[in-house]
């Protein structure tokens, strides 16, 4: 009897090309895009690799579950935003924060000091026009060969998807919010 194996087994059968730092994009309207990036950061850290996480829409003082756990592990997770929402009045300030934050994140990507750099929710400042897409693509394209980058967020631009090595679309098939169940501490934050 032969039955279909789990995908990880089948992937091991593939012919090997050269190992190199990957550009991985998590996009789509489903849950888990950032959470999966945190899981990657956890795994790389577990392998003793240098990891850093930048969050473009979170405030520097955010202390969600992931911030607490990464603090325990010693993995930096840096909020670059101002907790922007659709009620924000000072969009010029939000845009400036995004540009300042991008300078920091781009320097980390270019430094070669990291095995993995997570750029969480980077797609939003791109969509809002706060960051020039060409600059972001140029920085990603020019990164050191050993540096992996994960970009998360809805509506990733086509040019970013083209540049990426691996793209997963997170599709919402069902969501508890739609059944009236609110966000829950420890699950959503």
Residues within window 86-105 making contact with its own copies, judged by CB under 8 A:
86, 91
Report the nearest approach of its own copies to the CB of residue 76 (Å). Answer: 15
Give how far Cα 91 sits from Cα of 80, 85, 130, 168, Å: 14, 10, 9, 30
Question: Per the structure block, which two tokens stand in for 13?
Answer: 């059968």
CB of 167 to its own copies, least distance (A): 4
Residue 158 binds to its own copies (criterion: CB under 8 A): no
Alpha carbons 91 and 108: distance in angstroms, whole number: 26
Binding residue for its own copies (CB under 8 A) from 59, 133, 137, 167?
Answer: 167
Contact between 112 and its own copies per CB under 8 A: no
In the complex, the smallest distance separating the C-beta of residue 133 from its own copies, rounded to whole angstroms, is 16
Q: How far is the CB of 139 from its own copies (least distance, A)?
A: 20
CB within 8 A of 142, min separation 6: which ones? 110
Q: Where are the alpha helices (DSSP H) in 47-122?
A: 65-73, 91-111
- Which residue in the set 49, 62, 110, 112 belongs to the binding site for its own copies (CB under 8 A)? 49
Distance separating alpha carbons of residues 139 and 42, to the nearest angstrom: 24
Rounded CA-CA distance 80/61 in Å is 10
Q: Can residue 145 be called a binding residue for its own copies (CB under 8 A)? A: no
Binding status of residue 64 toward its own copies by CB under 8 A: yes
- Cα–Cα distance measured from residue 166 to residue 104, given in angstroms and rounded to the nearest whole number: 24
Question: According to the binding rule CB under 8 A, does residue 72 interact with its own copies?
Answer: yes
Q: How far apart are CA 162 and CA 140, in angstroms?
A: 12
Identify residues 2-31 at the interface with its own copies (CB under 8 A). Answer: 2-12, 14-20, 22, 24, 26, 28-31
Binding segment (CB under 8 A) for its own copies, from list 102-110, 135-143, 177-185: 177-185
* Nearest approach, Cβ of residue 62 and its own copies (Å): 11
């Amino acid at each position: 009897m032969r039955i279909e194996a789990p995908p990880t087994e089948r992937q091991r059968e593939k012919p090997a090309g050269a190992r190199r730092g990957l550009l991985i994009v998590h996009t789509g309207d489903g849950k888990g895009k950032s959470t999966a990036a945190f899981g990657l950061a956890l795994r790389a850290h577990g392998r003793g690799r240098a990891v850093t996480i930048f969050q473009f829409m979170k405030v520097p003082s955010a202390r969600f579950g992931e911030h607490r756990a990464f603090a325990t592990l010693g993995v930096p997770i840096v909020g670059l935003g101002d907790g922007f929402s659709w009620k924000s009045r000072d969009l010029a300030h939000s845009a400036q924060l995004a540009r300042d934050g991008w300078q920091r994140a781009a320097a980390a990507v270019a430094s070669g000091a990291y095995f993995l750099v997570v750029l969480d929710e980077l797609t939003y400042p791109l969509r809002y026009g706060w960051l020039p897409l060409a600059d972001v693509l140029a920085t990603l394209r020019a990164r050191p060969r050993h540096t992996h980058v994960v970009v998360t967020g809805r509506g990733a631009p086509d040019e970013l998807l083209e540049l990426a090595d691996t793209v997963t679309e997170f599709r919402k098939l069902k969501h508890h919010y739609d059944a009236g169940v609110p966000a829950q501490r420890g699950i959503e934050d």
